[in-house]
């Protein structure tokens, strides 16, 4: 009963969309969280792979009432071979049945022999039996000839091969699950290369498997090299491992950018050396404890710090970059370049103030420009009040295309009316960034407008509100509508058509030109799309 209730609810489009959005938000950092529901229904292969066969039927096979029926049929027919293979690969017999029963693509029958061969190789014998029963007479005898030539021995081989393939997912799975039988089998077959497995094992942090590979296959204890994960777990592994791995100065250099001082000390004891790179790795990752240790060991840098990174490791407090800069200023002689000051303006007012009041290297016009395009209003104001380098003339244009920078755009507009060099690229950049608020501000307060390319950016983004705004305020010439439509058609997919659909139905669009395009173009993509708009 509960399953029936769930199925009835899940078939509701709105409820299913809400479920997908919720799951996507929960798993937004996972690689699997790729598709929203509105995007997924536009990808028949993914619908089959995720076993949404009912959605495949609704959106792709029973879609005569859809506004883009001809276009959907064209896309489905174009990709039918891959769609059928996906269904066979994932053993979706119901999807195969629906495609043979409902699809209007003649290629379903045409591709039947190659699909049966693929199904046999994957031991999908229920799919083979079904396809054989519904094959068109013109292809039937070819199918029968092929099946007669498939011996029982071959069928047993394919079945065994498929059973074996189901056990082996990926190299990463075998390593992480510590599936030693699978690893040995594939090493013996030559599918897995031993040293490559060792590298992957170290990267994945399955250190016991790395030791097992070295011991089991008598590998020469390899150098850890730049594959090293410079953390405490790596230190615990190396310090307790029976294997004597080779260590070089480059390993110490790399470890200095990591989170484990214990690891740095351990590696240093093995080779007693490091290079100037160690110092800069530690600094650029704000590893102050390692920096102090290197200083005690007499580390020599030789050149000023060039860049201050705004990527602060998650295990460090937000104050650590400033603390590192202050320590380096007090204890080292290498100093800081102008570029270091410039790059600090991207993210830290405190560091900018410290460098301004305590160092003499200064900065360039990049500092104010970087502060502006990164939305650092207080930093921009401080530099304007205390320094004379100024900023570059294209700063306003670039800032308009950056996220969360509307306040900075307003500030530049209000306070630098003559120094701010604004062009059409300002609004273009905001349109490309889907930032309607910035576009609205520019349109209401400035006169530069946008270029003819702006409409194309909005259409490619499927930004319906932006397209409506451009049309309402006549920011793009109406006679360009058909040109931009035809240019953008081949760049869109079935889940991304709201904006172009609205523009095609707009009375200002010159349909006569599109009628000519529909009759003269050789692009199948465009031909089938325009069929649904009666461009006869």
User: Residue 28: its pLDDT value, please?
Assistant: 44
Is 138 or 533 the better-scoring residue by pLDDT? Answer: 533
**CB-facing half-sphere around the CA of 518: CA atoms within 13 A:** 15
Please tell me the distance from the alpha carbon of residue 369 to that of residue 420, in angstroms, as a whole number: 11
User: Residue 266: its pLDDT value, please?
Assistant: 93
User: Residue 19: its pLDDT value, please?
Assistant: 64
pLDDT tens for each residue of 88-122 = 999 999 999 999 888 777 777 778 778 888 888 78
* pLDDT for 52 beyond 60: yes
pLDDT tens for each residue of 389-447 = 999 999 999 999 998 899 999 999 999 877 668 999 999 999 999 999 999 999 999 99
Please tell me the distance from the alpha carbon of residue 296 to that of residue 261, in angstroms, as a whole number: 13
Instruction: Judge contact between 222 and 245, C-beta under 8 A.
Output: yes
User: Residue 24: its pLDDT value, please?
Assistant: 53
Angstrom distances, CA of residue 508 to CA of 452, 475, 476, 482, 492: 16, 13, 12, 10, 22
Which residue in 134, 124, 61, 137 sits closest to 90, CA to CA?
A: 124
Q: Which helix (H) or strand (E) holds 367?
A: helix 366-373
Least confident of 65-79, 220-234, 270-284: 220-234
Instruction: Judge contact between 68 and 492, C-beta under 8 A.
Output: no
SS3 assignment, position 111: coil
* pLDDT for 211 beyond 80: yes
Least confident of 87-91, 167-171, 393-397, 512-516: 167-171
* pLDDT for 526 beyond 50: yes
Please tell me the distance from the alpha carbon of residue 58 to that of residue 100, in angstroms, as a whole number: 15
Please report, rounded to a whole number, the percentage of residues in the chain having pLDDT higher than 90.
44
The top-scoring range by mean pLDDT among 6-10, 212-216, 392-396 is 392-396
Is 365 or 139 the better-scoring residue by pLDDT? Answer: 365
> What rounded mean pLDDT belongs to the chain?
84
- Domains of the chain, by residue range, sit at 35-165, 168-222
Angstrom distances, CA of residue 24 to CA of 31, 34, 35, 143, 442: 11, 8, 8, 44, 34
* pLDDT for 21 beyond 70: no
Neighbours of 116 (CB within 10 A): 24
pLDDT category at 536 given cuts 50, 70, 90 is: low
Model confidence, pTM? 0.76
Is 266 or 486 the better-scoring residue by pLDDT? Answer: 266
Angstrom distances, CA of residue 405 to CA of 366, 395, 398: 17, 12, 10
Please tell me the distance from the alpha carbon of residue 456 to that of residue 235, in angstroms, as a whole number: 54
Instruction: Judge contact between 56 and 48, C-beta under 8 A.
Output: yes
Angstrom distances, CA of residue 164 to CA of 46, 95, 169, 182, 186: 25, 25, 10, 10, 11
Please tell me the distance from the alpha carbon of residue 268 to that of residue 255, in angstroms, as a whole number: 10
Least confident of 46-50, 190-194, 230-234, 290-294: 190-194
Helix axes 112-121, 80-89, angle to 10 degrees: 20
Average pLDDT over residues 1-5: 57
Average pLDDT over residues 58-72: 87
Q: Terminus-to-terminus CA distance in the chain, angstroms?
A: 52
pLDDT category at 32 given cuts 50, 70, 90 is: very low
Average pLDDT over residues 133-150: 67
User: Which is it for the CA torsion 337, 342, 347, 349, positive or negative?
Assistant: positive
* pLDDT for 26 beyond 50: no
Average pLDDT over residues 141-146: 64
Q: Which helix (H) or strand (E) holds 44?
A: helix 44-49
Please tell me the distance from the alpha carbon of residue 336 to that of residue 364, in angstroms, as a whole number: 13
Beta-bridge mates of residue 241:
none
Which residue in 114, 108, 97 sits closest to 53, CA to CA?
A: 97
Please tell me the distance from the alpha carbon of residue 449 to that of residue 444, in angstroms, as a whole number: 10
SS3 assignment, position 305: strand
């Amino acid at each position: 009963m509960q399953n029936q209730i769930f199925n009835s609810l899940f078939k509701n489009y709105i409820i299913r969309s809400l479920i997908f959005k919720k799951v996507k938000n929960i798993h937004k950092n996972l690689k699997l969280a790729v598709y929203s529901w509105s995007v997924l229904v536009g990808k028949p292969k993914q619908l089959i792979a995720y076993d949404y066969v009912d959605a495949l039927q609704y959106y792709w096979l029973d879609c005569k009432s859809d506004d883009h029926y001809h276009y959907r049929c064209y896309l489905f027919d174009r990709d039918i071979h891959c769609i059928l293979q996906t269904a066979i690969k994932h053993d979706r017999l119901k999807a195969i049945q629906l495609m043979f029963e409902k699809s209007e693509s003649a290629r379903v029958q045409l591709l039947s022999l190659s699909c049966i061969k693929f199904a046999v190789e994957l031991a999908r014998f229920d799919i083979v039996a079904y396809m054989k029963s519904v094959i068109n007479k013109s292809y039937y005898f070819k199918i029968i000839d092929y099946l007669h030539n498939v011996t029982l021995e071959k069928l047993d081989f394919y079945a065994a091969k498929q059973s074996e393939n189901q056990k082996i997912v990926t190299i990463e799975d075998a390593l992480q699950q510590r599936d030693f039988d699978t690893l040995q089998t594939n090493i013996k077959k030559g599918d897995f290369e031993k040293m490559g497995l060792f590298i992957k094992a170290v990267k994945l942090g399955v250190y016991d498997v790395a030791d097992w590979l070295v011991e089991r296959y008598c590998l020469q204890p390899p150098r850890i090299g730049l594959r090293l994960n410079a953390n405490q777990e790596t230190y615990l592994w190396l310090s307790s491992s029976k294997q004597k791995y080779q260590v070089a100065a480059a390993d110490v250099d790399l470890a200095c950018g990591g989170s484990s001082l214990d690891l740095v000390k351990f590696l240093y004891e093995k080779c007693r050396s490091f290079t100037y790179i160690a110092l800069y790795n530690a600094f650029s990752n704000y590893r102050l404890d390692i920096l102090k240790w290197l200083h005690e060991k007499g580390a020599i840098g030789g050149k000023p710090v060039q860049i201050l990174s705004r990527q602060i490791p998650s295990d460090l407090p937000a104050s650590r970059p400033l603390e590192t800069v202050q320590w380096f200023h007090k204890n080292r002689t290498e100093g800081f370049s102008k570029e270091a000051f410039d790059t600090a303006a991207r993210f830290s007012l405190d560091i900018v103030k410290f460098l301004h009041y305590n160092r003499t290297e200064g900065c360039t016009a990049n500092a104010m420009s970087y502060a502006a395009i990164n939305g650092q209003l207080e930093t921009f104001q401080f530099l304007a009040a205390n320094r004379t380098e100024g900023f570059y003339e294209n700063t306003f244009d670039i800032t308009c295309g950056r996220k969360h920078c509307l306040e900075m755009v307003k500030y530049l507009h209000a306070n630098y009316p003559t120094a701010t060099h604004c062009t059409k690229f300002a609004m273009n950049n905001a349109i490309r960034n889907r930032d309607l608020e910035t576009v609205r501000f520019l349109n209401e307060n400035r006169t530069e407008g946008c270029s003819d390319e702006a409409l194309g950016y909005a259409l490619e983004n499927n930004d319906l509100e932006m397209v409506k705004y451009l049309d309402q305020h006549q920011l793009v010439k109406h006679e360009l509508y058909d040109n931009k439509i035809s240019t953008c058609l081949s760049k869109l997919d079935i889940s991304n058509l709201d904006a172009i659909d609205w523009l095609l139905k707009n009375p200002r669009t010159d349909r006569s030109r599109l009628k000519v395009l529909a009759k003269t173009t050789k692009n199948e993509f465009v031909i089938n799309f325009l069929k649904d708009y009666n461009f006869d």
